[in-house]
Structure formats: C-alpha cells, structure tokens
Amino acid sequence: MSTGLLLNATICFAITISSFAFAWVLSQSDSQHNNKSRPALWSLITLWALVGLTYLPTTIRMIAAYMGNQQLDLTMYYIAALPFSFVAVPLVFFILYIIVGDQRISGYTSLLFVLFGATYLTLFYSSGVIGPTITPLTSLFTINSDIAINIYLIGLFVIPTAMIIGLLFLIFLQRMPKRLRYRTALPLVAISFVFDFMLTDMITLDDTMQLAARIFVLIGTVQAFLAYFPPMTLQEKLGIKKYEYILYETDEEEDYDEDDVEETYINV
C-alpha cells in the first residue's frame, strides 16, 4: 500500500501524543490553581484527553488500512467515534464557566450536550457506515445517517463554535493588558481550530482534505500549547510577561492602569 497511509498514521500519532502530553502538563499545574479556576482547568484536561483518545484509534486505523485489515479499520473507526461525540461537552463547560463562573450552571448545560452526543452515537451505531474506501492517502468511511450528521453539525458543532466566537468577541471588547488578551484569546482560537478540523476530518469524503484537516488539528494542538506555555522569546516579542495559571486574577499593569487601580479579568 501507499506510504501516504503511513504519513497519515504518523500525523495521527503526533496528534495523539501531543494531546495527551498537553493534558498531562496541564494536570501538573493543578496545584497552581485555586478552587475557582480548577473546574476550568479540568475541563480543558478532559477536552485534550478526548482529542487524544479520538486520534489513538485513528492511528491504528491508518496502520490497519496500510496492512489491508479492513475489519480492524472498521472497529477502530467505531471506537474513535465514542470520544469524538463528547468533545463538545468539556468545551461547552469551559466556555460557560469562563462567562458565568458558576459550576452548577455550566455542568447542567453541558449535560444537554451529553444528550446530543448520545443521540448522535445511537444513530451512528444503529445506521452503520459505508466503507472503508482505501486511497493512497487515507481510509474513508461514509456515515450512513444524514440525521446523525445533522445532529452533530447543529447540536455539537454550530452551537459550541458560536459560543467560542461570542467569547472571543467579549474578550476583544474588554480593556485588558496585552498578556491577558493573549492568554485568553489564543487558547480559544487554538481550540476552535482543532474542533473545526476534527469535524472536517470525520465527515469529509475527500482524502486530501482529510489529510489536510489532520495537519491543521496538529497545528492547532501545538498552537494551544504555545498559548499556555509560550517560550521566553515569544513572550519578549509579544511584550507579555510570565503569567499565573489562575482563572480569575487581579493584575496591575503600569502601562495600562493609569489610575493605579487593580481590576479583575477573566483569564482562561
């Protein structure tokens, strides 16, 4: 079979490793968070763990396709659909918690997206898939349920994406120091990047587009890591200082707060 499948498997494996590594590094910063910010932290850890769990069986899928094992390919596709269906849940919790700061409201709202994910999975597994179609670059499946696709698009994609855009809009409307704007906006852009291209990866029927989507998912994962742990050279170039890993922080910037009054900002 084509070496393009091995390239695809390598990209998926890189996404898996980087996502799990990012989740692990975030978990190690738990002691640096207070009780107010810890729920947001663990929602992010869950999000990146689900990304890794989606691309781990996808890696095996590409290897199975390379070896001509269609049954293993199909099995791994079904397994990958499980974490993929619930990626929106911690994302919605994270965004709502940043906006309202209430763990109960965020949790109850996230349960709605658990129901969306469960409904999608039920239709997905009951309707089955068509494939695999092996190409020189990838292995493609067609979801045999338009209703399942529409549920995911509307309930698990459009709404969370709109929430990300809305939160970004609020961030740019706020007056805040440059380092806090970087700290809040760039992670959301990276998450949106990964989230959008994961959907493209799952539903596209074009092998080149799927491979490109996975490359962009990998780029988004690296971007998210740089958003949380920027190297010193990047901090100097952007004019940002090393930040604390807390959700709500009181910060005083000499070049920003002309009246020397401390203000509280939401920090994701």
Other CB atoms within 10 A of residue 72 CB: 16
Q: What are the structural domain ranges in the chain?
A: 3-266
Distance CA 90, CA 84 (A): 12
Angle CA 209–214–220, to nearest 5: 125
Q: What is the DSSP code string of 11-30?
A: HHHHHHHHHHHHHHHHHHTG
Integer Cα distance of 7 and 218 in angstroms: 13
Q: In the numeric block, which tokens belong to residue 242?
A: 């090393």
| Tens place of pLDDT per residue across the chain (268 aa) | 588 999 999 999 999 999 999 999 999 887 787 888 889 889 999 999 999 999 999 999 999 999 999 999 999 999 999 999 999 999 999 999 988 888 999 999 999 999 999 999 999 999 999 989 999 999 999 999 888 888 888 888 888 888 888 888 887 777 766 666 676 778 888 898 899 999 899 888 999 999 999 999 999 999 888 887 777 776 666 665 554 444 444 444 444 443 433 333 334 4
Cα–Cα–Cα angle for 50, 155, 185, rounded to 5 degrees: 60
Element (H, E) at 250: strand 248-251
For the 3-266 domain, the top CATH level (class) is mainly alpha
